[in-house]
Amino acid sequence: MIANLIGSEWRTPSNGVSSLPIYNPATGDVIGQVPLSGAKEVDAAVKAASDAYRTWSRTAVMERVRLMFRYKNVLEDHFEQLAAIITRHHGKTLDEARGEVRRGIEVVDFACGAPTLLQGRTLRDVSAGVDQDYYRYPVGVCAGVPPFNFPVMIPLWMFPLAIVAGNTYVLKPSERTPLGGARLAELFLEAGFPEGVLNVVHGARDAVEALLVHPDVRAISFVGSEPVARRVYQTAAANGKRVQALGGAKNHIVVMPDADPDVAVAAILNSAFGNAGERCLAGSVAVVVGGAAEHVLPALTAAAAGMVVGPGDEPGVQIGPLIRAEHRDKVAGYVDKGVSEGAKLLVDGRDQVRRPGFFLGPTILDRVSSDMTIGHEEIFGPVLSVSRASTLDAAIEQANRMALGNMATIFTQSGRAGREFRERVEAGMTGINVPIAQPFAFFPFSGWKGSFYGDLHVHGTDGIEFFTRKKVVVTRW
């Protein structure tokens, strides 16, 4: 069974704590056990973080940054190892895992800019002989609850920025992919950070509930499905904590008749089927406008049908397995439901359900409308719905009908259409001629509507704002 990190000690929870298997989704093999920690383990981790906070919050910024630079180097040294860990227990291809590690390390790069990012502001002579300054202070013990689909990148969205700002941290990795967070914590200690600055508690709902009500946890970062994000936001806020809670997605890709078909087809394949569709920035519905259907659908269908499904560590594989057999069956159930609600199946990934392992092939359903279940619910698998729209207005209206507003992207050669889309589409991350509108570490990860509960998003200067509180000092001598 993998262990929690409390202070500098790796502790396997004892008596009465149950566990769950960790799988290799490509083989179905059990490769470990993760403990389902509860309030007792959470309390020990929060106590270790509170103890460390006294010293860490007063440690010089340049010392905190020196350690963060060292962490960056240690992560670079273990780049391939981290990617292999992701593939082994998440299933995505090695190339996708490498992309994940890179995007995660970029947040550490950003955190190394703390001497600039943590500066306050000053206005002298605000009135006669009076100066005002504000200083940034850490908020205290912060906690992070990531989802299963980016076991390295999403923890790195959370604790490096919090810690470089002088906070201490409790990370509760996903119980389905806990090995990424566990390895990140080992490397964190290797970089030389003092004990208790980062703690790890493995578990699921009970551990999260304990964090949400713990009086010494000051801020919670959550990333996961919409219903849990909403609940985490409400409970943490009711308990007086800062919260940033990122929820699910139902992302639309609009393809205009003037789009370059080669660009659009490659992008849709990447957006819909990359990471086996288990991405909050996955394109879920392609809305083809007017003549775009004839330009892109035949090539899209042929290319999807030819994609290679298999274990993520095999060369040439383009789509790895889904996270669990139950999730694969749930996604396949959405395909059944789409067909029964009248969608036309163009590519059927159910033909590629293979055992052992939790595989499902790429699937495309055409003539999907937003009132069909697959037209508005998040599927989180390699399933692309295609809708037909006669105008850009109709396409934007369809995207805006979604309760979730994470990402939307348009393919067009018209600057006017691109601008119109940018102005009117209700998605916090909007792309023009790109498959995945992912903000880099120095911009906020910016979902709207049910895709985000809170006001300060993760990373970018929003992250700095979230992990600091300001003190204003008014001075007259």
CA distances from 339 to 308, 374, 379, 445 (A): 24, 10, 14, 34
What's the Rg (C-alpha) of the chain? 23
Minimum CB–partner distance for residue 334 and ligand NAD (Å): 14
Strand residue runs (E) in 381-433 = 383-389, 404-405, 407-411, 429-432
DSSP readout, 2-46? --EEETTEEE---TT--EEEEEETTTTEEEEEEE---HHHHHHHH
Minimum CB–partner distance for residue 230 and ligand NAD (Å): 10
- Please identify, using beta-carbon distances, which residue of 209 and 397 lies nearer to ligand NAD: 209
CA distances from 117 to 65, 132, 135, 156, 468 (A): 11, 19, 12, 17, 11
Minimum CB–partner distance for residue 165 and ligand NAD (Å): 21
**Given 23, 71, 110, 148, the residue binding ligand NAD (CB under 6 A):** 148
Count of residues in contact with ligand NAD, rule CB under 6 A: 25
**438: which 2 tokens?**
């992912």
**Given 143, 145, 161, 335, the residue binding ligand NAD (CB under 6 A):** 145
- Please identify, using beta-carbon distances, which residue of 212 and 289 lies nearer to ligand NAD: 212
Minimum CB–partner distance for residue 232 and ligand NAD (Å): 6
- Please identify, using beta-carbon distances, which residue of 167 and 275 lies nearer to ligand NAD: 275
Minimum CB–partner distance for residue 235 and ligand NAD (Å): 9
CB count within 10 Å of CB 344 equals: 12
First to last CA, the chain: 61
- Please identify, using beta-carbon distances, which residue of 433 and 438 lies nearer to ligand NAD: 438
- Please identify, using beta-carbon distances, which residue of 218 and 457 lies nearer to ligand NAD: 457
Catalytic residues: 280
Touching ligand NAD, residues 431-450 (CB under 6 A): 445, 447
Closest CA to 360 of 426, 287, 304: 304
Minimum CB–partner distance for residue 450 and ligand NAD (Å): 10
Touching ligand NAD, residues 190-249 (CB under 6 A): 204-205, 208, 223-225, 228, 246-249
Asked whether position 23 contacts ligand NAD by CB under 6 A, the answer is no
**Given 370, 406, 409, 430, the residue binding ligand NAD (CB under 6 A):** 406
**470: which 2 tokens?**
């300001």
Q: Which stretch binds ligand NAD (CB under 6 A): 31-39, 139-147, 407-415, 460-468?
A: 139-147
Residue 460, SS3 per DSSP: helix
CB count within 10 Å of CB 128 equals: 6
Site string for ligand NAD, 349-388 (x = CB under 6 A): -----------------------------x-x--------
Touching ligand NAD, residues 252-271 (CB under 6 A): none
Q: Give the span between the Cα atoms of 308 and 102, in whole angstroms.
A: 24
Residue whose entry in the numeric block shows the structure tokens 């992919």:
177
Q: Give the span between the Cα atoms of 162 and 269, in whole angstroms.
A: 35
Touching ligand NAD, residues 1-20 (CB under 6 A): none
| Residue, CB closest to ligand NAD | 224
**Given 87, 174, 318, 385, the residue binding ligand NAD (CB under 6 A):** 174
Minimum CB–partner distance for residue 445 and ligand NAD (Å): 6
**203: which 2 tokens?**
């578990």
- Please identify, using beta-carbon distances, which residue of 148 and 169 lies nearer to ligand NAD: 148
**344: which 2 tokens?**
């036309």
Strand residue runs (E) in 277-399 = 283-289, 344-347, 363-366, 383-389
User: How many angstroms from the chain centroid is the CA of residue 133?
Assistant: 35
**Given 24, 370, 451, 468, the residue binding ligand NAD (CB under 6 A):** 451
Angle at 188 between CA 187 and CA 189, to 5 degrees: 90
**23: which 2 tokens?**
């799988």
Minimum CB–partner distance for residue 457 and ligand NAD (Å): 9
Q: Which stretch binds ligand NAD (CB under 6 A): 146-154, 160-168, 331-339, 345-353?
A: 146-154
Q: Which residues of the shown chain bind ligand NAD in the complex (CB under 6 A)? A: 145-149, 174-175, 204-205, 208, 223-225, 228, 246-249, 280, 378, 380, 406, 445, 447, 451
